[in-house]
Amino acid sequence: MEKLKKLKNYFSIIDIIFCLFLGTAFSIYPEYYTKGSCEASPHLVIKSIGLFCIIFIVSIVIKMLISKINSIEDKKDGLISNLFNKENKIYKYRLFILAGIILLLWLPVIISLYPGTLSNDTWNQLNQYINLSNGEHLRDHHPVFDTIYIGSLIVPIAKLSGNWQLAFFIYVIIQAIITSLVFAYSLIFAKEKLKLNNVFIIIFLVTYAILPIFPASVQAINKDALFSWIYVLFFINFLDIVRTKGSQLENNKFFAATIVLALFCCLTKKVGMYVLLLSLVLLLLFKISNKKRIICIIACVIILMKIIMPFILEKFQIEKSGQQEKYSLFFQQTARYLKENMDDINEEDRLLIEEVIGQDVNEIVKVYDEKYADPVKGYTQRATDDKYTKYLFVWAKLGLKHPSSYIDATNCMWSGWINYTMYKPLMNMNHHNQLDTDYMDESVSQRHGTAKSAEFIQNAYDTLYKIPVIKYLLTQGMYIVIIPLFALSTTLKKGGKGKGYWIGIIPLFLSIALGCLLAPVADNIEGQRYLFPVTFTSVAVLMWTVFVQKEKEQEIK
């Protein structure tokens, strides 16, 4: 009986609900991914129940393991103890030592994948930067700051050396160094602020150093990899605000750093503004001190993004991006509706849809791809802003008439994210149609001396995916739903009365909702970059989860 009572400390009703959701989701979404639809069947019910039981048992075991590790006292000797001993000479170098360990274990992968991997969008950004000298203007389809940052690092080096691939690789090394320093900083935060014991610091250090998603992401040259390490720093500051109930904002250096990080998050990724603003606004709703300083951060973001940036775009004649990027999921739902209910739409609605999407309804149905929005969405805005507003009313009306079409369209788009069967840990440069051969030869997108080593790394990762348990660490579902729901259930149950520790992971859920679930693609290689902000913060989320459980256990004692 006593053992049963103790066991109840590791689960709650919310755990059961979340595990039921996961069991069901991981049963139906692979069906949507492979077939484009899902029909209820006894097989799916049995599979859902089986997955629920497995996930529920594993979650209890992990929480018990966390509790066991939390009870271990730190030894006075050893690398971590010496590293965080203020009396030790190496204490002041702890950031660089931790970063060095991470970077050292990343280097074999990074070197094997020389010169790095450029996303298709990055080729376009380099073209824009090069054309600045020809009197052409930038375009805001990608954040202008990213275009200037990436171009100003790569293009001058390429011109000086006469070697584009060397320039790419130098960029990758710089990015790897900065990212390893950021991850090392998160370990210091976990040790010195969250007071986690050495066992957890070692676990998280090893995770950063050997988990394949990190070197695979760091060697990617794109706006998402740039944004993600900045976002990790903001996320850590956000956690510290929640941890101290806002008192940390009294520190002027911390306050200034948080403003700077918030602004750079907005400049490097457009969805970053919405994630940050919503997170900070929601933070104001809870019992927290220094709310005026939080409002100040919000004001700085709004002034930058809604006043200064529009002025800059107009002043320098930078072409604005279209609204179509926000409507990926809406357009997919409309396309599915047309595919299944073409006869059930009036002429006025049809004409409006054709104007906004920019294609004939029959063409929309023809190009509709269940998991990829770009064929329908396109890359430019085709109608005036007021037409998009009218479209939303039509979209809502059609959805009420045939909600099943919208549900199926949504599930197909999400099936690449909420999935434990799909695996694409590396990116390649096969998709490079935005590379302008007027400025660089197409051969720069090919690995020459490292073709065999790159193939070896890919095969090694493929082999890891075939290993039970380990393979789940490489799939999107781990980072999109498993870790977030595990963190949420733990922080809700273990957060302590009135502490509201679950507020700390609000940015994570907003990143998933706005950055992934509303993204135009999940399943192809290019789409994996949308996952970077979530995977980069995943370890910090686990650090926070361990901290919350530790705090609750100490409170009980």
pLDDT in tens, 247-293: 999 999 999 999 999 999 999 999 999 999 999 999 999 889 999 99
CA separation for the pair 489, 533 (Å, rounded): 21
Residue 280 vs residue 77, higher pLDDT:
280
Q: What share of the chain is helix, strand, coil (3-state, %, to 5)?
A: 75, 0, 25
Global confidence as pTM: 0.94
**Mean predicted lDDT score pLDDT of the chain:** 91
Token representation of residue 360: 């004939």
CA separation for the pair 143, 253 (Å, rounded): 27
Query: How many contiguous H segments (helices) and E segments (strands) does the chain have?
Result: 26, 2
The number of residues in the chain equals 557
pLDDT at 4: 52
Residue 426 vs residue 511, higher pLDDT:
511
pLDDT at 475: 85
Handedness of CA 396, 399, 401, 403 (dihedral sign): negative
pLDDT in tens, 538-550: 999 999 999 999 8
In the predicted model, is pLDDT for residue 497 greater than 60? no
pLDDT in tens, 416-427: 898 877 666 666
Q: Check: CB of residue 364 under 8 Å from CB of residue 382.
A: no
Counting Cα atoms < 13 Å in the Cβ hemisphere of 52 gives 16
Alpha helices in 221-368 (DSSP H): 223-243, 252-268, 270-284, 291-303, 309-315, 328-341, 347-357, 361-367
pLDDT at 425: 62
**What is the Rg, in whole angstroms, of the alpha carbon atoms belonging to the chain?**
24
Residue 246 vs residue 2, higher pLDDT:
246
Residue 320 vs residue 43, higher pLDDT:
43
pLDDT at 427: 66
Q: Check: CB of residue 534 under 8 Å from CB of residue 512.
A: yes
Residue 473 confidence class, pLDDT cut points 50, 70, 90: confident
In the predicted model, is pLDDT for residue 295 greater than 80? yes
Mean pLDDT of 104-112: 96
Place of tokens 């130098």: 170
CA separation for the pair 326, 310 (Å, rounded): 18
CA separation for the pair 434, 131 (Å, rounded): 14
% of the chain beyond a pLDDT of 70: 95
pLDDT at 135: 79
pLDDT at 524: 60
Mean pLDDT of 188-213: 95
CA separation for the pair 411, 344 (Å, rounded): 22
CA separation for the pair 535, 540 (Å, rounded): 10
pLDDT at 3: 55
pLDDT at 471: 82
Give the H/E segment covering residue 118: strand 117-118
pLDDT at 246: 95
Residue 25 vs residue 136, higher pLDDT:
25
Token representation of residue 519: 């993204």
pLDDT in tens, 309-366: 999 999 999 988 888 888 999 999 999 999 999 999 999 999 999 999 999 999 999 9
Q: Check: CB of residue 218 under 8 Å from CB of residue 179.
A: yes
> Residue 417: what are its φ and ψ, rounded to 5°?
-85, -50
In the predicted model, is pLDDT for residue 87 greater than 80? yes
Token representation of residue 73: 């006292």
Neighbours of 97 (CB within 10 A): 14
pLDDT in tens, 6-20: 666 677 888 999 999
